[in-house]
Structure 1
Amino acid sequence: MQARNHRFPPDPWCLREDAPDPATHFLNETLFALGNGYIGVRGTAEEGWSGPGGTSRDGTYLNGFYESESIHYPETAHALAKTNQFMLNVPNAKGIAIWVEEERFDPLQGRLENYQRSLDLRRGVLERSLTWTSPSGRSIALRSRRLVCLDNRHLLAFEVEVTPLNFSGTVRIVSSLDGAVQNLEAGDDPRIGSAVSGASLQLLSAEQEGDFCALVQRTRNSGFMLVSATLTEVDGKGTVEAQCSRDGLRLEQTYALPAVQGEKITVRKYACYHTSRDYPEDELLTRSCDVLEVALRGGFDVLAARQAAYLADFWQQSDVEIDGDDLLQQGIRFNQYHLLQSVGRDGKTNISAKGVTGEGYEGHYFWDTEIYIFPFFLYNKPEIARALLEYRWAGLESARRRARQMSHPKGALYPWRTIAGEECSAYFPAGTAQYHINADIAYSIRQYLDATGDDAWLRAHGAEIVMETARIWTGIGTYDRHGSFVINEVTGPDEYTALVNNNYYTNAMAQAHLEFAAAIAARLAGEFPEDYARIAQSMDLAPGEPEEWANAARLMLLPYDTALQIHEQDDSFLSKKRWDFANTPPGNYPLLLNYHPMVIYRHQVCKQADVVLALLLLSARFGQDDKRRDFDYYEAVTTHDSSLSSCIFSIIAAEVGYADKAYDYFMETARLDLDDTHGNTCHGVHTAAMAGTWLGVAYGFGGMRTDGGSLRFAPTLPARWQGYRFRIQLRGCLLQVGVNGAGTTYRLVQGEALQFTHHGKPVALTAAQPEHQEAA
């Protein structure tokens, strides 16, 4: 990576901006966004932005709060997705405009000095300080702080301090709640925006009394009620005047203050959002008032202290430390922080591809959660991992309905992209056809059970999900004339290869899924017969079904080319013409934006890891030589147009001994958003790639594997690092793995004993004594 790409000083715990710049403002709105898994607020300043058009996309988002619109097809077909759901841009509660006499504070007007904006990853606070001189010569010092409470999903808070430096007179503070917001409309890039145009929220009422104001609205089609409310406190306030726009969508409170040179004026503002997805409609306004009153009584400093305490606990459990590379350290911590900000943790919400930082992919949840993001939370915040599985449990009935729509008389088929559980993918070759979503969810459940031993959750929820989704494989698959079990007309992870027979990843993951489902059925029948009977009755499970799953798994066709000695991505992949990489202009990537899908589909070209991903997830089923040959072949035909790709190639490169490639791919992932290497971070962060950074350390350089229920490590030390450390939670233990030039040290931070292997050697670790393994 070239140094010219690094726009931020390499502070391991902070992201710092030294000047507001229209050229980077749109991107920085994403990078300086704050969230708590429910609320997300883009990093536009309280006074707004007056820069050129196209340099800002202000937004406030609520995870799981959505509007719906019918999907219109010029030519429709049976069981195509009928309705889209998209995350809404909700009323902007952060507005605090400042008027110095009759001049409005605007950093792009007048003279700006001593500017600094910083996101503190340890304290979870966005701070800004500056000195501004108006066009007429009046100067102020301004300091602002902002946080979105990690321990109260409904609450965010702002504090702005204004100090007149060379004048006394009048300063006016205008606090606003602005409901005149809209979502980004879709353009030529299918990853950005929604098809809806116009406002999606209808105003029911506007409430305004003293320092309090609220907008009560309802979505037009999904029918949810939303209450957005603010409470403003101004120290030493003079007169207050309330205004409401003619359409009722913008509420303002203006405070005219006598300003004395050198004396600070402080504004504190608290805001909250409540919706009928969580509470009865008649409680929303009362709950909003209660939350704001409690916040006001405690004050901003109390909220900031609680935020710091929450993050101290998070970092104590999950911090990844890199010795010798501050740029990389900054990237890793930035990614982990944004994951925490983005993930739903209530069992009703998930984590979208862009988190709560932008409107890319419309706030939809994908398989990214289970395969890329879930491991990070499983081994760092397992209670959040469980909540993500609870979300899938809540969607089981919708998955059953989707299976019936797709002509499966039994079983459950989870949606490829969704918010509330219904399929929202309008392009089925790269959506519904990705049946592997079922196996991905089952895989995450198996990981969870191996890591936690949570049999109670298995019996209550997990077993039914795994078995209902396994039924789909025996529904879609069949036995060919040679007696092999085949799965036809599906799309694997590689979205540049669609609607194929026997996609290797799909078949291999389906095999593991079917084996797991059969084993669960046998275990429950033997150890928990009452639970098994209950689940079997709920599913109308026929006698012999689990045996059918086991048989299909045993006879699963896994394409392999004996001449090349590689696993074939599907039955036809190696028969296709290779993409002409040498004559493809650099500006034509990503291919999906420059070529018709059929042009791409008829070529041998991959958007992302497919077979290579199977090598990681089912690691124990492959030998090192197979992994190396597969890596070599598929690396040559992969564009990495997907942000999900580089981290997987990094991990397998590390495993097969390609140290330089492993490091290069890892670096592409680690600072993907900070350096905007895919050119679209302005529309939201890439949560899967962020989680892929953690995977790259733990699974890649740490050599960690857990498939098969055993814990294994095979650490290596990148040549450019002096050392690194990461922690994982497993079976009630907190294990620290530290690697440096002298070797690897394992230490139990919590727990009494843990067993695993180090480069194949058994280790029985106890709390009393760390284990050190010398470097080879």
Structure 2
Amino acid sequence: MSEEPVIQPPKQRFAPDPWCLRETAPDPATHFLHETLFALGNGYIGVRGTAEEGWSGPAGTSRDGTYLNGFYESEPIHYPETAYALAKTNQFMLNVPNAKGLAIWLDEERFDPLQGTLDAYERSLDLRRGVLERSLRWTSPSGKSIAVHSRRVVCFDNKHLLALEITVTPLNFSGTLRIVATLDGAVRNLEAGDDPRVGSAVSGASLELLSAEQEDGFSALVQRTRNSGFTLVSATLVDAPGTVRCSRAALRLEDACEVPAVQGQPVRATKYVSYHTSRDYPESELLPRSRALLDAARRDGFDALAARQADYLADFWRQADVEIDGDDLLQQGIRFNQYHLLQSAGRDGKTNISAKGVTGEGYEGHYFWDTEIYIFPFFLYNKPEIARALLEYRWAGLEAARRRARQMSHPKGALYPWRTIAGEECSAYFPAGTAQYHINADIAYSIRQYLDATGDDDWMRAHGAEIVMETARIWLGIGSIDRHGRFVINEVTGPDEYTALVNNNYYTNAMAQAHLEFAAALAARLATEFPADFSRIASAMALEAGEPEAWRSAAAKMHLPYDEALGIHEQDDSFLSKKRWDFDSTPAENYPLLLHYHPMVIYRHQVCKQADVVLALLLLSSRFGLDDKRRDFDYYEAVTTHDSSLSSCIFSIVAAEVGYADKAYDYFMETARMDLDDTHGNTCHGVHTAAMAGTWLGVAQGFGGMRTDGGTLRFAPTLPARWRGYRFRIHLRGCLLEVGVAAAGTRYRLVQGDALHFSHHGKAITLTAAQPEHMEAA
């Protein structure tokens, strides 16, 4: 394999509109993918982008789905050969009742864009307003023509609510028009095939019906999961002309309105939808809450909901917008990614961000380390209240992490799960799951970032310090002092999932060292500044007096593998002794390797799925010299396949830092339009949230040179040759800073706040309310 990054040619599908995604024809060849790209969500509800009338295309070209973040079913994991403390139960996000259905009948003909003649068509996702809109003209096989305009919104200001509006105008006839709104509970999850990234092992229906209600345009299904024991109420309220008639067939509820169709006169129907579960409210409140919410939504009307959606997004873009001057395709990709991140993030303290957001069933809706290392910084610096909510989720899982530590034979401490929804370990393949102990350090790292960026001592005292110290204990439980006096950590897996169960993975050891140092410093600070809180936490943990000093000692003695001859940090003790993968003889169709080779074949070779040592160079940037970074980058780039969507953004950032401008840009572009151009070929099963966040990291930390490790803010901006300029904003310590980079230099502007201190290429800068701007020439 060439040492140059393998970047697939872009498959441009959309005109480069910086604020909008437009589809100009429904196409079976792209429909499955576009269902993901045109999905709407609000961090709780996720609705794939299937049209209201459904899809009649060929089999395998659609996966309709509606998902609720954190609402899951559970089932036993069946191992042909089991072992002690293997994960026992899987949790998987459910495909819940489909409430989007709005079928249109012209006399006895049903509207179907794939039948008859489609005379005009456009579907658009407006990233500024958060509305999915469609306009078309269609002629039926018998010659009746109609214009259809639909709007859809999943409300950011109420996590339980979405709304759909459809307007039908007869163009060349008068007759009878019937609109049928459906609530379909006969849905199932996608079953996994040979690709372990797709679907779940469940078969059959996971929701059993308790009751159904229909009255005056209100329909509701009350269902319960068979194993996890949660109750779900899916409800709709139809606002349409004429009389709404109810009917039911098994798990499908219908509300139909029939009106005279007069040529040239539009008929409008609006459907309000809610989902409530017993994860949020007592079961007895679910139906009353559903009725009340839908009644209030109908009183407000669709236009009011859409206006509130636009207001919410205006505030979001004021804080988070990244502007690129000189590349409209890239601008579209960045804003699309940021919008989907906002749609994906749980913000109630009980939910997190799954690897595919709420757009598909890939990875079963599980939460990974993707949140802390890739996605968390985006929210921390753009919408800090969501960042705090994501940490609240980890706090809520601390007791489960303690239980998992005991299962793994640690008498004290907490071990967070590699993949989970409710807090229990769900990874059935421990070499690339439970063995990734670095999850503890990743969570501690995000807490440190949060404290540095916000100064939120209240949260630190109430929650953060206990998480950091409890998880730090695990390193002394898994590590030991070897005969050379080094603290070593054996039999773990680092970020690179093509190298499993090794001794002294560099990333793990380096992050563990930082974690132990942070835990000891927090303990000392609490004891000095907040003694009552320290006493309370120490009592809750049964913290022994000598533990913080033991953490310091282990950190000081941490073994960090380094090869003097090559001048590089070794990925682990054995990595450099392995035979290199034969890239030249591996056909392109055999990537990703995990789908074509047994894990043991991959493990015994020198080959990386993703950034490992290179990721440590970024996260712990101040601990490495520039020459070390360049040598490490050169070596590991040559053996990395980037089969993981988490890889290219990290390589881009480090390439920018070490002066490889072209490589930085190529890797960045692979990240920025990964889903829009479907470069990994699996976006149909859901977006890649970590890569989406990696796009923002690529601008701020890559080209902007932003670093915050060590508690200080610094920038080292560069301008890609293909851009005229770029601009982004960050929240820090109650301030909002705008960074603008152009050929003339870099302009820093304090948008809000009293004062902010940082450095530009090593030069100290202070912005104040009195002097809010500073210009550094190129």
TM-score bucket of the superposed structures, by smaller chain: over 0.9
- Note the 1:61-100 alignment, pairs <5 A: 61-100=67-106
- Letter matched to residue 174 of structure 1: V
- Note the 1:740-751 alignment, pairs <5 A: 740-751=742-753
Is 2:261 the counterpart of 1:241?
no
- Letter matched to residue 139 of structure 1: S
Query: What does the per-residue CA deviation read over 1:666-711, in whole Å, with 9 as the maximum and x for residues that have no partner?
Result: 0000000000000000000000000000000000000000001000
Report the Cα distance in structure 2 between the residues aligned to 1:318 and 1:527, rounded to whole angstroms. Answer: 35
- Note the 1:173-188 alignment, pairs <5 A: 173-188=179-194
Q: Secondary structure at the match of 2:193?
A: coil
Query: What does the per-residue CA deviation read over 1:715-753, in whole Å, with 9 as the maximum and x for residues that have no partner?
Result: 000000000000000000000000000000000000111
Cα offset for 1:240? Answer: 3.1
> What is residue 448 of structure 1 aligned with on the other side?
450
> What is residue 468 of structure 1 aligned with on the other side?
470
Cα offset for 1:313? Answer: 0.1
Report the Cα distance in structure 1 between the residues aligned to 2:11 and 2:424, rounded to whole angstroms. Answer: 40
Report the Cα distance in structure 1 between the residues aligned to 2:772 and 2:535, rounded to whole angstroms. Answer: 46
8 Å Cα contact 1:745/1:770 also seen in 2: no
> What is residue 117 of structure 1 aligned with on the other side?
123
> What is residue 3 of structure 2 aligned with on the other side?
none
> What is residue 155 of structure 1 aligned with on the other side?
161
8 Å Cα contact 2:437/2:493 also seen in 1: yes
- Note the 1:165-564 alignment, pairs <5 A: 165-234=171-240, 236-237=241-242, 239-245=243-249, 247=250, 249-564=251-566
Is 2:609 the counterpart of 1:585?
no
Aligned residues: 772
Cα offset for 1:241? Answer: 2.2
- Letter matched to residue 190 of structure 2: L
Q: Normalising to structure 2: TM-score of the pair?
A: 0.99
Cα offset for 1:773? Answer: 4.0
Which of 659, 662, 676 aligns to 1:660? It is 662
Report the Cα distance in structure 2 between the residues aligned to 1:304 and 1:738, rounded to whole angstroms. Answer: 32
Superposition misfits of 4+ residues, deviation over 2 angstroms: 1-4, 767-776
- Letter matched to residue 430 of structure 2: F
Report the Cα distance in structure 2 between the residues aligned to 1:639 and 1:497, rounded to whole angstroms. Answer: 13
8 Å Cα contact 2:751/2:772 also seen in 1: no
Report the Cα distance in structure 2 between the residues aligned to 1:318 and 1:771, rounded to whole angstroms. Answer: 19
Cα offset for 1:3? Answer: 7.5
Cα offset for 1:768? Answer: 2.9
- Note the 1:37-52 alignment, pairs <5 A: 37-52=43-58
- Note the 1:118-137 alignment, pairs <5 A: 118-137=124-143
8 Å Cα contact 2:10/2:677 also seen in 1: no
8 Å Cα contact 2:172/2:263 also seen in 1: yes
Report the Cα distance in structure 2 between the residues aligned to 1:47 and 1:701, rounded to whole angstroms. Answer: 45
The unaligned stretches of length 5 or more in structure 2 are 1-6
Cα offset for 1:765? Answer: 1.2
Report the Cα distance in structure 1 between the residues aligned to 2:582 and 2:261, rounded to whole angstroms. Answer: 68
Which of 56, 61, 66 aligns to 1:60? It is 66
8 Å Cα contact 2:767/2:774 also seen in 1: no
8 Å Cα contact 1:747/1:769 also seen in 2: no
Q: Secondary structure at the match of 2:710?
A: helix
Report the Cα distance in structure 1 between the residues aligned to 2:194 and 2:705, rounded to whole angstroms. Answer: 41
Cα offset for 1:2? Answer: 8.0
Query: What does the per-residue CA deviation read over 1:634-672, in whole Å, with 9 as the maximum and x for residues that have no partner?
Result: 000000000000000000000000000000000000000
Q: Secondary structure at the match of 2:324?
A: strand
8 Å Cα contact 1:487/1:501 also seen in 2: yes
Cα offset for 1:4? Answer: 5.9
- Letter matched to residue 468 of structure 1: E
Cα offset for 1:253? Answer: 1.2
Cα offset for 1:437? Answer: 0.1
Report the Cα distance in structure 2 between the residues aligned to 1:773 and 1:414, rounded to whole angstroms. Answer: 45
Supply the RMSD in Å over aligned alpha carbons. 0.8
Query: What does the per-residue CA deviation read over 1:441-460, in whole Å, with 9 as the maximum and x for residues that have no partner?
Result: 00000000000000000000
Is 2:40 the counterpart of 1:34?
yes
Report the Cα distance in structure 2 between the residues aligned to 1:675 and 1:105, rounded to whole angstroms. Answer: 31
Query: What does the per-residue CA deviation read over 1:475-513, in whole Å, with 9 as the maximum and x for residues that have no partner?
Result: 000000010000000000000000000000000000000
- Letter matched to residue 761 of structure 1: K
Q: Normalising to structure 1: TM-score of the pair?
A: 0.99
Cα offset for 1:32? Answer: 0.1
Cα offset for 1:771? Answer: 4.1
- Letter matched to residue 149 of structure 1: C
8 Å Cα contact 1:747/1:767 also seen in 2: no
Cα offset for 1:586? Answer: 0.1
Report the Cα distance in structure 2 between the residues aligned to 1:442 and 1:369, rounded to whole angstroms. Answer: 12
Which of 615, 618, 624 aligns to 1:616? It is 618
Cα offset for 1:254? Answer: 1.3
- Letter matched to residue 179 of structure 2: I
Q: Secondary structure at the match of 2:181?
A: strand
Query: What does the per-residue CA deviation read over 1:343-401, in whole Å, with 9 as the maximum and x for residues that have no partner?
Result: 00000000000000000000000000000000000000000000000000000000000
8 Å Cα contact 1:129/1:142 also seen in 2: yes
The unaligned stretches of length 5 or more in structure 1 are none
Percent of aligned pairs with the same amino acid: 84
8 Å Cα contact 2:757/2:767 also seen in 1: yes
Report the Cα distance in structure 2 between the residues aligned to 1:586 and 1:722, rounded to whole angstroms. Answer: 36
Q: Secondary structure at the match of 1:328?
A: helix
- Letter matched to residue 743 of structure 1: G
Report the Cα distance in structure 1 between the residues aligned to 2:577 and 2:106, rounded to whole angstroms. Answer: 71
- Note the 1:629-668 alignment, pairs <5 A: 629-668=631-670
Query: What does the per-residue CA deviation read over 1:59-108, in whole Å, with 9 as the maximum and x for residues that have no partner?
Result: 00000000001000000000000000000000000100000110000000
Report the Cα distance in structure 1 between the residues aligned to 2:542 and 2:660, rounded to whole angstroms. Answer: 50
> What is residue 699 of structure 2 aligned with on the other side?
697
Report the Cα distance in structure 2 between the residues aligned to 1:49 and 1:631, rounded to whole angstroms. Answer: 47
Query: What does the per-residue CA deviation read over 1:407-435, in whole Å, with 9 as the maximum and x for residues that have no partner?
Result: 00000000000000000000000000000
> What is residue 4 of structure 2 aligned with on the other side?
none
Report the Cα distance in structure 2 between the residues aligned to 1:337 and 1:368, rounded to whole angstroms. Answer: 17
> What is residue 765 of structure 2 aligned with on the other side?
763
8 Å Cα contact 1:743/1:772 also seen in 2: no
8 Å Cα contact 2:750/2:773 also seen in 1: no
8 Å Cα contact 2:42/2:344 also seen in 1: yes
Q: Secondary structure at the match of 1:311?
A: helix
Cα offset for 1:256? Answer: 1.2
